[in-house]
Amino acid sequence: MFQRKEEEGSFFVLVFGVALGVYIGGLAAVYTYEAVMQWRIERAAQQVLSEARDADRRAAQARERAAQQAQQRSDAQAAALQAERERKQRKEQAWMRYFTPSPDCQRDATVACANAYAAARKRFEAEYVDR
């Protein structure tokens, strides 16, 4: 009988050892699972942040391109206005060289002077070529 008690004692030690091993293994599995889940969450957060930064960068680039295009349009418009002003100025200077009213017309504005002015202006408009 004595041997039987020893076997029972070693049996309980073995059962306790197995139970302890299962418990420790379960804890290790839970901690490993938690670590993996934490890693996945961090990875997902990093990916979301990276995508948000990329979206912000693309939006900033789009705003920059839009600003550049607006500036180019503004510059082109300003250049066109300047060219039109210069063209009108050249035409007006050419008109001043082309037509000088007579001293009588400079003193008194008459219908004959107005007709002479209109006829000269019509001829000038027909002949004028901007260079």
My answer on whether 103 and 66 are in the same domain is no
Of all residues in the chain, the percent with pLDDT exceeding 70 is 93
Number of structural domains found in the chain: 2
My answer on whether 90 and 104 are in the same domain is no
Secondary structure (3-state) at 128: coil
CA dihedral 35, 41, 47, 52 (to 10 degrees): -150
My answer on whether 75 and 109 are in the same domain is no
My answer on whether 24 and 52 are in the same domain is yes
My answer on whether 88 and 105 are in the same domain is no
Using a cut of 0.75, tell me whether the model's pTM lies above it. Answer: no
My answer on whether 13 and 30 are in the same domain is yes
My answer on whether 105 and 61 are in the same domain is no
My answer on whether 116 and 89 are in the same domain is no
My answer on whether 125 and 77 are in the same domain is no
* Residue 119 pLDDT > 60: yes
Instruction: Return the higher-pLDDT residue of 23 and 3.
Output: 23
76-102 pLDDT per residue, tens: 999 999 999 999 999 999 999 998 888
pLDDT confidence of 1, banded at 50, 70, 90?
very low
CA dihedral 81, 85, 91, 92 (to 10 degrees): 150
My answer on whether 40 and 12 are in the same domain is yes
My answer on whether 90 and 106 are in the same domain is no
My answer on whether 50 and 85 are in the same domain is yes
Q: Which domain holds residue 123?
A: 99-131
